[in-house]
Amino acid sequence: MSGLCPMDVHIAHGDGPVTPSLPLILGHEGVGRVVQLGPGVIAPQVGTRVALGWLGYACGMCRCCATGREDLCVAQKNRGSALAGTHAEYAIAAAAFAVPVPASVSSMDAASLTCAGVTALGAVRAADVLPAERVAVFGVGGPGYLALQYARLHGAEVLAVDLSEDGLALATAVGADHVIGAAAGDPTRAIAEFGGVDVAIVFGDAPGFFDQAIHSLRWGGRLVIGSHSASAATLPVQDLVRDGIRVIGTFGGRRQDLRDVFRLQELGRTTVVAQPRALSSAVTSMQELVAGTVPASLVFDLSLA
């Protein structure tokens, strides 16, 4: 199994935040069994089901690694970018970055969680969400619907903002306390009726989400940016200073985050929504992802013709 991530599309189009090494196999949400070990490797053993995520290598010695932020390692290598990815029958990985998948978590779910889950949990953790705080997630698809669930597990009241009725339905299905449609107009008015939010997490690429997220925040709020579309946005510096707003960037996560999302799924605390696709449908699947016509995640099942 190998999940299709929006980052794959960005890398393929050459507009992502990293410069890939070509030629390249895309994919960084791979789940499969170990079939062979390299010299000196003793674990994970042959037959173990593991996940290979975006973080394919970190040095373990730089300041970021030494302080528990291996996702910010200055020497990191990313799968599906600097390293060959998982949209293939076989993949090679550093043993330390092959994370075992619990037996009760399906490969389909695990593939979806390997990037979207890590990204979503990383965003919620970066925001330091506290019990009883109010959190708005802008953009429900991909990691957004998982961020709603992780914020709820932190004890927050959660609002989902999306352009599509399907996205709002998905948010309701996974337990959002409130859903706000953005297609008909500026959602900040509806959010203001709730009294604003303490945290706004932006995953959606819709124009306007970034500015709307900022203006939905209470004084002292936190804005977490997980969408590359915000790169063209303008920060209202005076408003941020006056209101004491913190702006936080988040990109991927750590191996421990991946272990944690697997554990939450194993405990039955989260719901994954994914659809299988044949690898031969890669081009049309990317088009579906860009068009927003899929409910949450697409996963390439190599057993499908």
- 60: domain CATH number is 3.90.180.10
**Domain of 228, in residue numbers:** 126-249
31, 32, 60, 62: which is closest to 47 by C-alpha?
32
Are 261 and 243 part of one and the same domain?
no
Do 105 and 55 fall within a single domain? yes
The answer on 41 and 20 residing in a single domain is: yes
Q: What is the model's pLDDT at position 228?
A: 64
pLDDT value at residue 33: 98
Alpha carbon of 141 to those of 192, 246, 272: distances in Å? 23, 24, 11
Whether residues 279 and 230 fall in one domain: no
Instruction: Confirm whether 271 is domain-assigned.
Output: yes
Say yes or no: 233 and 144 in one domain. yes
Which of these three, 230, 249, 268, is where a domain ends?
249
Residue type, 186: D
**Residue 243 sits in the same domain as residue 265:** no
pLDDT per residue rounded down to tens, the chain (305 residues): 999 998 999 899 888 777 788 899 999 999 999 999 999 999 999 999 999 999 999 999 999 999 999 999 999 999 999 999 999 999 999 999 999 999 999 999 999 999 999 999 999 999 999 999 999 999 998 899 999 999 999 999 999 999 999 999 999 999 999 999 998 889 999 999 999 999 999 997 777 898 999 999 999 999 999 866 555 677 888 888 998 999 999 888 999 999 999 999 999 999 999 999 999 999 999 999 888 888 789 999 998 96
Please tell me the predicted confidence (pLDDT) of residue 18.
76
Maximum pairwise Cα distance, the chain:
61
User: Whose CA is closest to 292, among 177, 165, 186?
Assistant: 165
Distances (CA, A) of 268 to 83, 140, 161, 262: 33, 20, 25, 10
CA distance 107 to 112: 9
Q: Verify that 219 and 131 share a domain, yes or no.
A: yes
52 plus 201 within the same structural domain: no
Is residue 30 situated within a structural domain? yes
Residue 298, classed as helix, strand or coil, is: strand
- Shortest CA distance to 200 belongs to which of 238, 233, 164, 166? 233
Which pLDDT score, from 0 to 100, does residue 232 have?
A: 60
Asked whether residue 245 is assigned to any structural domain, the reply reads: yes
> Per the domain annotation, does 105 fall within a domain?
yes
Tokens of 169: 């339905």
**Residue that finishes a domain, picked among 249, 265, 283:** 249
pLDDT of res. 17: 73
- The pLDDT value given to residue 192: 95
| Residue 181 located in a structural domain | yes
Beta strands across the sheet bearing 157-162 = 178-181, 157-162, 134-138, 197-202, 217-225, 246-249
- Note whether 233 and 257 are same-domain residues: no
Query: Which pLDDT belongs to residue 278?
Result: 96
Yes or no: say if 276 and 297 are a contact pair by the CB < 8 Å rule. Answer: no
Number of domains in the chain: 2
The reported pLDDT for the residue numbered 206 is 77
Establish if 305 belongs to a structural domain.
no
From 206, 231, 249, the end of a domain falls on 249
Whether 69 and 18 share a structural domain: yes
* Whether 113 and 257 share a structural domain: yes
**Domain co-membership, 49 together with 82:** yes
Amino acid type, 39:
P
CATH number for position 155: 3.40.50.720
